[in-house]
Amino acid sequence: MEAEIIAVGSEMLTAGRVDTNSLFLTAQLNDLGIEVTAKHVIGDDRERLASAVRRALGAVRLVIISGGLGPTEDDVTRDAVALALDRRQTFTPEILAGIEQRFRTMNRPMPEINRRQAMVIEGAHVLPNERGTAPGQWIEDADRIAVLLPGPPHELKHMFERQCLPRLARIAPPLAIHTLVLRISGMSESELDQTIAPIYKRYENPATTVLAHNGDMQVHLRARCASEREAKALLAEVGSQIELALGDRIYSRNGDPLEVVVGQKLAARRATLTVAESATGGGLADRISLVAGSSAYFLGGFVTYSRRLKMDLLGVPEDLLHRFGPVSRETALAMANGALRRTGATYAIAITGNAGPTTDGDEAPSGAFFVAIGTSQDVQVAHRVWPAPDRVRVRAFAAQMALDLLNRRLNQS
């Protein structure tokens, strides 16, 4: 079964408001095996909304419309849906009595305009609102269903869970939706897609999505089958081919981010970690320490932005900084060794680079980074240049690369 969601409200078309109701509804519908095929946001415009409702009901069996059920002129949902279905509305005294009662309990007079909320579309089943004044409506039209829900999220959630879920559970044909999330690092998005497209293009089901964010990538495989067993078998079939193609580029199969994966490996071998950061300014330590329980392996670190602190806190020799510059393989190596010496940690990560957008006084090109990873026996340095003229992204890329390198290192030893 397929559904579309329409969020109503001109405020949802401004930069300051986001339609979160549809996220909640999508999750709930997916749990029932109902696929959301489109979402729309429509302003407070009766005709426009009526035509969107008409179009949606022509495309799918279930259309859920949220918001616009209030008492004011710009609350157009009831009128628009009545127009779309070519049905009249009738005044329902019991609803008005309920609204009046609500105002009485709040010790406030009911404004006359609230009478509009007692209008019900012909043939609709009224969904009482236990959290607010606007009742919802459930309307069946041949094999199509339109559901009107209030906009405020707490009202919508309550009404959906109590009154729509049981109805939908009865009519939704059995469909199990399962998702496999693979997280990948250490390759570009295009490299990733080039590697796995020949596999996933052969299947319409599961649907495959590739997401990329600051060097971190995710492949989502979403299987829709009549039973849970079939969905899981299909995911295993396609997932195993993708896993084979990507090998150790995959760092997680359960959604865990890299800092969690690395943390688990460190904890399992009772190893400790320290960091020495220049260009990332503490961003790496922030990610590592965000993980609950990270105190078991993360000792802490050094934010040595200046040459002085690289010398004072990490013991990087002044002549080395002078000869090679602070953004260099040699400095990264000396920072990692200094951090290992000063803390006694098993592993150290050191990052030095130029996050841009300009080339600094030491002539390190914008986006150039050196990341050193290792133990007191062996430190390796990797070099990368990201051309992005965006400090936030470049710093995030560097932290991601550092965690990826440490993860690989932990896989080897």
For ligand ATP, the binding residues (CB under 6 A) are 7-9, 11-12, 19-21, 66-70, 75, 132-134, 150-153
Nearest residue to the partner ligand ATP, using Cβ: 151
Give me the least distance between CB of 48 and ligand ATP, in Å please.
15
Q: Give 79 or 216: the residue with its C-beta nearer to ligand ATP.
A: 79
Give me the least distance between CB of 388 and ligand ATP, in Å please.
33
**Whole-angstrom Cα distance, residue 78 to residue 71?**
11
**Whole-angstrom Cα distance, residue 155 to residue 121?**
20
Q: Give 17 or 322: the residue with its C-beta nearer to ligand ATP.
A: 17
Task: Give buried/exposed letters for 164-187 (b at 16+ CB in 10 A, else e).
Answer: beeebeeebeebebbebbbbbbbb
| Of 307, 362, 408, 2, the residue nearest 175 (C-alpha) | 2
Give me the least distance between CB of 44 and ligand ATP, in Å please.
8
Give me the least distance between CB of 149 and ligand ATP, in Å please.
8
C-alpha distance from residue 21 to each of 7, 36, 37, 40, 261 (Å): 8, 13, 16, 12, 32
Instruction: Name residue 231's amino acid.
Output: A
Task: Show the tokens assigned to 30.
Answer: 């997916």
CB 83 within 8 A of CB 46: yes
Beta carbons within 8 Å of 385's beta carbon, 6+ residues apart: 365, 367, 368, 369
| Three-class SS state of 64 | strand
Q: Give 13 or 226: the residue with its C-beta nearer to ligand ATP.
A: 13
**Whole-angstrom Cα distance, residue 1 to residue 48?**
26
DSSP assigned state of 113? G
Task: Show the tokens assigned to 230.
Answer: 């079939």
Q: Give 70 or 353: the residue with its C-beta nearer to ligand ATP.
A: 70
Give me the least distance between CB of 143 and ligand ATP, in Å please.
26
Q: Give 8 or 321: the residue with its C-beta nearer to ligand ATP.
A: 8
**Whole-angstrom Cα distance, residue 99 to residue 309?**
67
Beta carbons within 8 Å of 290's beta carbon, 6+ residues apart: 259
Q: Give 91 or 254: the residue with its C-beta nearer to ligand ATP.
A: 91
Give me the least distance between CB of 40 and ligand ATP, in Å please.
11
Q: Give 9 or 301: the residue with its C-beta nearer to ligand ATP.
A: 9
Give me the least distance between CB of 19 and ligand ATP, in Å please.
4
Give me the least distance between CB of 277 and ligand ATP, in Å please.
38
Q: Give 72 or 190: the residue with its C-beta nearer to ligand ATP.
A: 72
H-helix segments, 247-349: 258-268, 283-289, 307-314, 318-324, 329-343
Q: Give 8 or 371: the residue with its C-beta nearer to ligand ATP.
A: 8
Give me the least distance between CB of 39 and ligand ATP, in Å please.
10
